Structure 1
Amino acid sequence: MINIDHVSIRFPTRNGHVDAVRDASISVGEGEVFGLVGESGSGKSTLLRALTGLVPLASGNLSIDGTKIGGKLDGEFRRRVQMVFQDPYASLHPRFTIDQALREPLTIHRIANADARIAQALTEVGLGPTFRFRYPHQLSGGQRQRVAIARALIVEPRVLLLDEPTSALDVSVQAEILNLLRRLHREHKLTMILVSHNLAVVGFLCDRVAVMQHGEIVEQLTVDDVRSARVASDYTRMLLRATEGCQGRRAA
């Protein structure tokens, strides 16, 4: 479903350029949930945005469901590939009601039965009809992220790209959103890529994971490998220790 073939992404600077992603290759099967993990600045989100056509490539090839990504992408591709961003406080228009936020993608893609689809989308993410005419500032962070997920799913995509969808939320709310995503993946048979800096989050939701450092993929693992700490890279071991330490502090 998703093919990332020797992709490099470069950004110009005053003193030359910065290689944000270097020679990355990943293949994600249909219906699979794949994780990209690494510390901030490792290139995870940049690679995810490149899959939507928001970031140009320096070299390599990207394709989703047989469509090569590059140049102008048609509306059908935009409908099939949706993204949920990290910050639920920034991803929703503050002057749009929830109804307007969910209606907009339906209007863009000329999808009928808007009222019924909006009601169904809110129900699917655990929000009732009373939320429909509220504004984002009247919602909690977890509720906003549910709306962002509903907005992505309302056009019935095949691929869902998730850019740290729980990192801006409280720990208890993170678990709710992760359980929601796992249920929606199963019900809609979605192919997902989840970006996170937390191996515990990736281990809960994903089948396989790629570890990124300084723009490069240092290794690819199954979730069983992560849980059993069967890793080859010192950097991955460091991430595992950091995750274990964070969980220990939370438990305390």
Structure 2
Amino acid sequence: MIDVDALTVRFKTATGAVDAVRNASFHVAQGEVFGLVGESGSGKSTILRALSGLAPTAQGTMRIALPDGQAQKRGVQMVFQDPYGSLHPRFTVDQTLREPLRINGIGQHEERIVNALREVGLNASFRFRYPHQLSGGQRQRVAIARALIVEPHVLLLDEPTSALDVSVQAEILNLLKRLHHERNLTMILVSHNLAVVGFLCSRVAIMRNGEIVEELDIERIRAQQVDNDYSRSLLLATGGYQRKAIEAMGVDTSP
């Protein structure tokens, strides 16, 4: 579904050009959840922004094979890290969900809005609330509904739980896992939390200073079987992959 080959993302600064991502390559199969892990500033979120068309690419190629010729602006949607900054403060939930339908020329607004809210666990009473009337978890549910309302095939998740408290993180993770299975979504999840990545992802790429240093399946992460020294230090810094850490959040870990 997603093919990234030798991607370089370059930004101009006052002191010259900076390569935020260098020569990154990875592939994501249809229906797979792929993780990008690394410390802050390693280039994880920049890759997501490049895939969504929000960051410039200097070199390399990106290919997203959307079925049925679906346009990328509709077929690839992104959920941002900050639920407090990603929603327009003067838009009601109804306006927030109606706008992508209008932009993409999709009809049946009323039915789709109600269904989108129901799918993320919110009833119709939330339609005419403003963001300041919602909790952080409710805002993130609205952001997920906004991404899904246009029926994308690819969902890009930029640390979708990091700004939420622990109990709400569990709710959002369970929601994302359910939506992945129900819709057969292809997902890329960016996170610094290995427990979160291990709960959702089947494979992981570890990034450092704009480069992918190692790619491995989640079972090797759980067993702490890594080859790269930085990967090993990252596991040590985060206490490794601890299943009890994700269970302590109240997340359903059953298959």
TM-score (norm 1): 0.93
Match of 2:137 among 135, 142, 145: 142
Deviation at 1:29, TM superposition (A): 0.4
Aligned to 2:106: 111
Residues 234-249 of structure 1 correspond to what in structure 2 (within 5 A)?
A: 234-244=229-239
SS of residue paired to 2:63: strand
Question: Separation in 1 of the partners of 2:64 and 2:155?
Answer: 11
Letter in structure 1 aligned against 2:38: G
Sequence identity percentage: 69
Aligned to 2:29: 29
Query: Does 2:197 match 1:187?
Result: no
8 Å CA contact 2:86–2:143 kept in 1: the answer is yes
Deviations along 1:56-92, one digit per CA (max 9) or x if unpaired, are 111100110169xxxxxx9822110100000000000
Question: Separation in 1 of the partners of 2:70 and 2:35?
Answer: 26
Aligned to 1:20: 20
SS of residue paired to 1:244: coil
Deviation at 1:243, TM superposition (A): 2.3
Aligned to 1:4: 4
Residues 20-59 of structure 1 correspond to what in structure 2 (within 5 A)?
A: 20-59=20-59
Question: Separation in 1 of the partners of 2:194 and 2:29?
Answer: 21
Question: Separation in 1 of the partners of 2:166 and 2:215?
Answer: 27
Residues 166-245 of structure 1 correspond to what in structure 2 (within 5 A)?
A: 166-244=161-239
8 Å CA contact 2:195–2:245 kept in 1: the answer is no
Letter in structure 2 aligned against 1:99: D
Question: Separation in 2 of the partners of 1:44 and 1:249?
Answer: 23
Question: Separation in 2 of the partners of 1:206 and 1:246?
Answer: 13
CA 1:249–1:127 in structure 2 vs 1: closer, same or farther (change >3 Å)? closer
Question: Separation in 2 of the partners of 1:209 and 1:246?
Answer: 13
Deviation at 1:26, TM superposition (A): 0.5
Deviation at 1:235, TM superposition (A): 1.5
Question: Separation in 2 of the partners of 1:168 and 1:206?
Answer: 20
Deviations along 1:204-244, one digit per CA (max 9) or x if unpaired, are 00010000000000000101011110111122122222322
SS of residue paired to 2:199: helix
Residues 154-173 of structure 1 correspond to what in structure 2 (within 5 A)?
A: 154-173=149-168
Aligned to 1:151: 146
8 Å CA contact 1:6–1:60 kept in 2: the answer is yes
Deviation at 1:55, TM superposition (A): 1.1
SS of residue paired to 2:239: helix
Question: Separation in 2 of the partners of 1:104 and 1:117?
Answer: 12
TM-score (norm 2): 0.92
Letter in structure 2 aligned against 1:177: I
Question: Separation in 2 of the partners of 1:98 and 1:113?
Answer: 17
Letter in structure 2 aligned against 1:180: L
Deviation at 1:198, TM superposition (A): 1.0
Question: Separation in 1 of the partners of 2:175 and 2:133?
Answer: 21
Please, which runs of 5 or more residues in structure 1 have no aligned partner?
A: 68-73
* Count of aligned residue pairs for this structure pair: 245
Please, which runs of 5 or more residues in structure 2 have no aligned partner?
A: 249-255
8 Å CA contact 2:78–2:158 kept in 1: the answer is yes
Question: Separation in 2 of the partners of 1:35 and 1:162?
Answer: 9
SS of residue paired to 1:220: strand
Question: Separation in 1 of the partners of 2:16 and 2:110?
Answer: 51
- CA-based RMSD of the aligned residues comes to 2.0
8 Å CA contact 2:235–2:241 kept in 1: the answer is no
8 Å CA contact 2:66–2:153 kept in 1: the answer is no
